[in-house]
Every structure is written in C-alpha cells, then in structure tokens.
Chain A
Amino acid sequence: MEYAWDFSQVFANRALLWQGLQNTLILGFTCLVLGLFFGLFVGAARFSGKGWLYYPATAFVEVFRNTPVLVQIIWFFFAFPIIAPFRIDAFTAAALGLTLNTVAFSSEIYRAGLQSIAKGQWEAGKALGMSYWEQMRRIVLPQAIRRMLPAFMNRAVELFKMTSLASVIAYGELMHKAKVVSTIAFNPIEMYTAVALIFFAVLFPMTIVVRRFEKRNDVGS
C-alpha cells in the first residue's frame, strides 16, 4: 500500500486557499473584537451583583456555554432568519454564533479577573474621589487585564479553530475552500493535511506566546 503524495494541486490552488485563509482571519478577528467588547459588559453585569443585571446576563452565558457552537451557527443560519425581519448570509450567521459564543466565554474571564482584584483597590480609588467607572478604567481594569491576557489568548486560539465550522454553512473560509478543491481535484489527503498545517502554523506561535505570558505572570505574582 504505497500512496504517492502529490501536493501539486494544493500549490496550484494556492490563490483560493489564500483567499480562504483571509476569510478565516476576517471572521475570526471580527468575532474576537466584538466578542471581547461586549463580553466586558456581560462580565461586568454578572460582577455587579445587581439582580436585574445579573440574572439575564447569567442566563445568556449559561445558554451559550452549554450548547455546541455548531448548533448555534446552524440555528442562526437556518432557524433565526424565519423570525428575523431580514435575510442572513453565511458570514452573518457564523459571525453571530461565534461572537455570542465569545461574549459568553470572555465575560467569564472578565468576571474572574475583576473578582481577583482586592476590594482595597476600589476603595483607594473611591477615597480619591473617583467615580465607579473611573475606578474601573484607571485602577481595576489595567490590573485585571494583565491577569486575563493568557485566558483571552487561549480563547482566541479556540475561536480561530471554531471559525472552520462556518464551512458547514458554506462560508468560504479555509476549510470550505479545501472541501471544494478536494472534491474537484480529488486529493483529500493533501488538501486536509495542508489545511491542518496552515492552522497549526498560524495558531501554534500564539500558544507559545500564551505560555510565555503565563510563566511571566507566575513569577510576577
């Protein structure tokens, strides 16, 4: 059983794959930025301890943490348009699912980060005459973000892996391009190997950076 590997078709389709990778990155960064932004508010809502903020935020987080992200994407692509007053394309559906998923997970990171800051830090800011948001912006967040950074980067790695699920609803990211090419050129071995290697090449350096950060934080604290 001798298989002759042949990557020429992968190479011949490099423009298509490059386009796919770009789409992967666009989807990933869109969801990362939006997810981290809105995650702060959901995390702060859960942290605040005020019932009318805490319970809706908690329900949201639990639903998105405890359902598979593929189901979320499919729900937004096939089900949501029926009740939504507008059409939803593959990118929007995938971005909606992945963003909300990222909001849910990152809000927990924010919350844990905020909780890790000692009460005395808030009090010192308060005693200087800072408002709640000044305390948050100047004192608490700068300290908390530093502690949260490794967790956020881990989340980013997970998110970029998850973008490949958008291929299921035919968004033209890397995985989907590979699927298309491999059915035409009939080279699934080379094609999927190449995709895995591309993801590895993009994400592995990120995990190394995360580990550096984690080590530095250990020493720092």
Chain B
Amino acid sequence: MQCPPTLFPTKARAMGYEWDFAIVFRDFDLLILGLINTLKVTGLALLFGVPLGLILALLRLYGAWPIRIPVGLVIEFLRTTPPIAQLFWFFFALPILIGVEIDPFRAAVLTFSLQSSAFFAEVFRAGIQSIDSGQWEASKAIGMNRNETLRRVILPQAVKRMIPAFLERAIELMKTTTLVSTISYADLLYQANNIAQTTFRTIEVYTVAATMYFIVMFACSIAVRRLEKRLARSGETVVN
C-alpha cells in the first residue's frame, strides 16, 4: 500500500524510508560555502580572542585590585553565561544601545572573540602559574624586571605547555559558532537549514552537515592528541 505524502512521519514511512543523498550533493557547494564561513568566524574570533585573552590574564594576575576584580568578574561572566544569550545581546540589544546597526557577521565575531578571550585568559593564567617560582627568582637575580621576566622567561615556557589547551578551546569555539545560524549568518548549519527546507530531505542534509563538522573537528582532535603526546614527552602540559 502506498502511503500518502505527508510532512509528518508515520510508522509506515519510517520503516520504508528511501534515502536520497543525490539531492543534497546537488547543493553541496552551498554547504562548502557554509563551512568556509564557519571557519572564517572561528579564525577571526581566534585572531582577536587570543591576544585579548593574554591581556585579560595579565590584568587579572598582576593588576591592582580595582582592575583585577572587575576583570575577574568579566571573565567569569563570559564563562558562565550561555553563548547564545551573549550572541543575542550583541546582535539584538547592543545596536539599540549604541544606535549603530550591527550585521550578523560582526555580531558573531564580536561575541565569539570576547567569549573565547575569557576562556583563553584562563588558559594563559594556568600556564603562567604553572611555571616554577625558581624561574622568577633566577630572572630577578640577574636583574630582570617583571615585564622582561614575563616576556623572555615565563611566557615562552608557558605557551609551549598551553598549546594543547589552546587547540582544544579552538575546537570548542568552532562548535559554538554554529549559533550564528540563529541570527541568519550563512554558516554551515544555516545552509543546511535552508537546503532542508527547500528539498525536504531533512535527514540527509543534517547527516551530511554533521559529517562535515565531524571530519573537520575529528581531524583537529587527532592533531591535538598527537601534539599532546609529543609535548608530553618533552615536558609537562597544562589542561584547562
């Protein structure tokens, strides 16, 4: 018996579902464009987030208390509020507040730069604090001041230990950027939504999109693990 076509799945249809990936692959270029946009947002957020994270970490570690405490609070706030709330705030609320239109792309880069900077700040802090105090003393003994010690002695050692934690954060960041689809920025998930709505091949589209995410992130994860092992052999690493 033939089932009438319907938007809502019935048991009969579920049993005899006919998979059709061809329709999805006809629009594959859109998905690739989406993936590129995902990587663009991730890359820019990293570009701004990492240096900002270092600054926040230094302020939190070495600032006078009127700086240290508010900076700490901002970091905690960015770490413990949902990214989607942050994104909506920057996209819907901030433009009203400052009277300037912000497009989805800018709102996304702004949100994820700030959000990831808070996480990177904690990675930096853990890295800096993991360096033995003897290194500070030795630098002091040869007449270095705090900035010189940080720049020449502490950070070069700390950064090496932090690399795996950084990369893990970067993968997390890439996952988080899927939120931009909710403010209509054409990332991979947004393209998948569109294709699903026009072709009704929902299951194929989302499965393909999920697989694309998986391939990119799994490759990154494996690279991180390799690096971790190599670094572990040459010294300790810190985890966030």
Q: Do chains A and B touch in the complex (CB under 8 A)?
A: yes
Which residues of A are at the interface with B, using a C-beta cutoff of 8 A? 1, 3, 62-63, 65-72, 74-75, 78-87, 157, 161-165, 167-168, 175, 178-179, 182, 188-189, 192-193, 195-196, 199-200, 203-204, 207
A204 and B76 in contact (CB under 8 A), knowing A68-B175, A71-B206?
A: yes
B37 interfacial contact with A, CB 8 Å: no
Contact of B80 among A68, A83, A178, A207 (CB under 8 A): A207
Are A192 and B9 interface neighbours, CB within 8 A?
no
Cβ–Cβ < 8 Å partners of A79 in chain B? 202-203, 205-207
Most B CB contacts (10 A, CB to CB) among A71, A72, A87, A200 go to A71
| Closest A-B pairs by Cβ, 6 of them | A164-B82, A188-B92, A68-B175, A79-B203, A189-B93, A66-B217
B83 interfacial contact with A, CB 8 Å: yes
A74 and B206 in contact (CB under 8 A), knowing A3-B96, A68-B189, A69-B175?
A: yes
Question: What are 6 A-B contacts defined by CB distance under 8 Å?
Answer: A1-B99, A79-B207, A87-B9, A165-B82, A203-B80, A204-B77
The chain A residue sitting closest to B218, CB to CB, is A66
Are A192 and B213 interface neighbours, CB within 8 A?
no
CA distance A189 to B99 in the complex (A): 12
Cβ–Cβ < 8 Å partners of A192 in chain B? 85, 88-89, 92-93
Number of interface residues of B (CB under 8 A): 48
Are A161 and B97 interface neighbours, CB within 8 A?
no
Are B214 and A63 interface neighbours, CB within 8 A?
yes
Are B84 and A71 interface neighbours, CB within 8 A?
no
Most A CB contacts (10 A, CB to CB) among B84, B89, B202, B203 go to B84
Min CB distance, B75 to chain A, in Å?
11
Q: B interface, by DSSP: helix, strand, loop or mixed? A: helix
Are B221 and A66 interface neighbours, CB within 8 A?
yes
Cβ–Cβ < 8 Å partners of B15 in chain A? 85
Contact of B189 among A1, A71, A86 (CB under 8 A): A71
Are B202 and A84 interface neighbours, CB within 8 A?
no
CA distance A17 to B221 in the complex (A): 38
Known: A164-B82, A192-B89. 7 other contacts (CB 8 A): A1-B97, A71-B189, A74-B193, A161-B83, A178-B85, A199-B82, A200-B81
Pick out which of these stretches binds chain A: B50-58, B151-159, B176-184, B229-237: B176-184
Are B76 and A82 interface neighbours, CB within 8 A?
no
Most A CB contacts (10 A, CB to CB) among B76, B82, B178, B189 go to B82
Are A68 and B92 interface neighbours, CB within 8 A?
no
Contact of B202 among A1, A82, A178, A200 (CB under 8 A): A82
Interface string of B1-45 (1 = CB under 8 A from A): 000000011010111010000000000000000000000000000
Cβ–Cβ < 8 Å partners of B83 in chain A? 161
Contact of A85 among B11, B98, B189 (CB under 8 A): B11
Number of A-B contacts (CB under 8 A): 137
Min CB distance, B13 to chain A, in Å?
8
Min CB distance, B225 to chain A, in Å?
11
Cβ–Cβ < 8 Å partners of B218 in chain A? 62, 66
Most B CB contacts (10 A, CB to CB) among A62, A70, A175, A182 go to A70
Are B93 and A161 interface neighbours, CB within 8 A?
no
Min CB distance, B41 to chain A, in Å?
13
Cβ–Cβ < 8 Å partners of B69 in chain A? none
Interface string of B170-214 (1 = CB under 8 A from A): 010011101101100000010001001000001101110110011
Cβ–Cβ < 8 Å partners of B93 in chain A? 188-189, 192-193
The chain A residue sitting closest to B80, CB to CB, is A203
B79 interfacial contact with A, CB 8 Å: yes
The chain B residue sitting closest to A69, CB to CB, is B175
The chain B residue sitting closest to A62, CB to CB, is B218
